Amino acid sequence: MLDPRDGRTLLAAAKTGHLGPTIFRSTNRGRSWKEASQPPAFAKSPNDQKARAVDHTFWLTPCHANEPNVWYAGTSPQGLFRSEDGGDTWQPFSVINDDPLYREWMGSVQDGTPDGPKMYSIIVDPRDPAHLYFAMSGGGVHESLDGGKSFAPLVKGMEVVEMFDPANIAFHDPHCVRLCPSNPDRLYQQNHCGIYRIDRPSTEWTRIGRKMPKKVGDIGFPMVVHPRDADTAWVFPMDGTMVWPRTSPAGKPVAYVTRNGGKSWQRLDNGLPETQAWWTVKRQAMSADVHDPVGLYFGTTSGELWMSRDEGQRWTRLAQHLPEIYAVEAAKIP
Amino acid sequence: MKVLIPGPLLSYTQQREVEAVGSTLAELLADLDRQYPGLHFRVIDERDRMRAHMRFFVNGEQVFDMSRPLHPSDFVQIVQALSGG
């Protein structure tokens, strides 16, 4: 992740096979990298039987433009951390890491999803650094209006797996939440159970994925918003039937775009494999640049990097034979 | 009692909701395996531990103990954590 405030600091989360999780930093746009001197780690609590250890840092968010060098990190298992020195040292942030109610919503090791329960989509309102959102799998979407002193759930309207109680925050599984830069009162969400939109100050999400074709469905991981048009957003659907195989529906990868806030969706598959392509795109592996028309980028579970120079009308493969791609970020170099 | 089956196990039961008996969670799973051979090993490993990502709820409350007593009127939900990506 490039720091848009200085245009040169890059942070990358890493989990080495034997040595545990860390953060690497570059202050020269990636020419050289150095390990953070104090990566995110939960506070010690020797008497707490439920004490946790960070398995990996999953999400990195540069803070507000008026708070240079401040970053947030989300971890697996779910934890919220903050750095005030450009990502070199990290401290637990807010009360939620140890709050009994939040710990209940975060679930136990038994609840852990295949690669661990996660915190992500840490969003700072561009108008107000004290207005924060984050999401957890499992555990829902949450909002703070007081700079992280307290958080409250924001899950009304979000559906949960059939026959479960949506009143139980632990059952909520947002996959990716994005705030529209051109209208910070509008957020989009790709959830375990559909695609949603919310327009603040409303506190209720609307499932806009119902208008997706039935054969494709509205399950997936990434959600991408347009840098200047809050009615435009992209998704990359995944096979959401039965065992969740992390492949495209019917082996046909495709992006969908809405240009009217989710009232309708259009298929964008020109240039993508037409059949037998058994990969998909994870929640941080699709992004947009700020050009006009917008450039879109995604990385696949099979290690391919794709781009479109025209908002998804035509796709081109940039690279293949890479390892599985977890995250793709587009950055404008000053 | 009524048991809710998660999507990944529908290939065993063919239905979302099934009936099974047992005075504990372990007995209930044994009965499910009698009705739907092979299901037990998909949720409990050979050391009798719940498989990772498999969750059990009795009347909405998460249960970790296989000897948890059950009553015929209880509603048991088996859930598979599927997300992560």
Q: Does residue A6 register a pLDDT over 90?
A: yes
> Measured between beta carbons, which residues in chain B are less than 8 angstroms from residue A118?
84
Count the domains in chain B: 1
Give me A230's structure tokens. 């809050």
Query: Is residue B10 included in any domain, yes or no?
Result: yes
Q: How many CB atoms lie within 10 A of CB A310?
A: 14
Query: Is residue B62 included in any domain, yes or no?
Result: yes
- What's the pLDDT at A163? 79
Termini Cα distance of chain A = 15
- What's the pLDDT at A112? 66
Query: Is residue B35 included in any domain, yes or no?
Result: yes
B84 closest CB neighbour out of A115, A164, A243: A115
- What ipTM does this complex have? 0.73
Asked if A282 lies within 8 A of B16 by C-beta distance, the reply is: no
B53 closest CB neighbour out of A113, A137, A192: A113
Q: Does residue A121 register a pLDDT over 70?
A: yes
Query: What is the spatial distance between Cα A159 and Cα A167, in angstroms, rounded to a whole number?
Result: 10
pLDDT digits (tens, 9 = 90+) for A25-70: 999 999 999 999 999 999 987 666 778 999 999 999 999 889 999 9
A165 closest CB neighbour out of B50, B60, B84: B60
Average pLDDT, integer, range A160-172:
89
Structural domain of B45: 2-80
- By the CB < 8 Å criterion, does B85 face chain A? yes
CA distances A194 to A12, A84, A206, A233, A287, Å, are: 29, 36, 10, 14, 19
Architecture of domain A1-43+53-172: 7 Propeller (2.130)
What CATH number does the domain containing B6 carry? 3.10.20.30
- What are the residue ranges spanned by the domains of chain A? 1-43+53-172
B22 Cα to chain A: minimum distance (Å):
22
pLDDT digits (tens, 9 = 90+) for B23-69: 999 999 999 999 999 999 999 999 888 888 888 999 988 899 999 99
Closest listed residue to residue B83, CA positions, set A249, A55, A160: A160
The amino acid that residue A316 corresponds to is T
Q: Does residue B72 register a pLDDT over 70?
A: yes
Give me A167's structure tokens. 């009143």
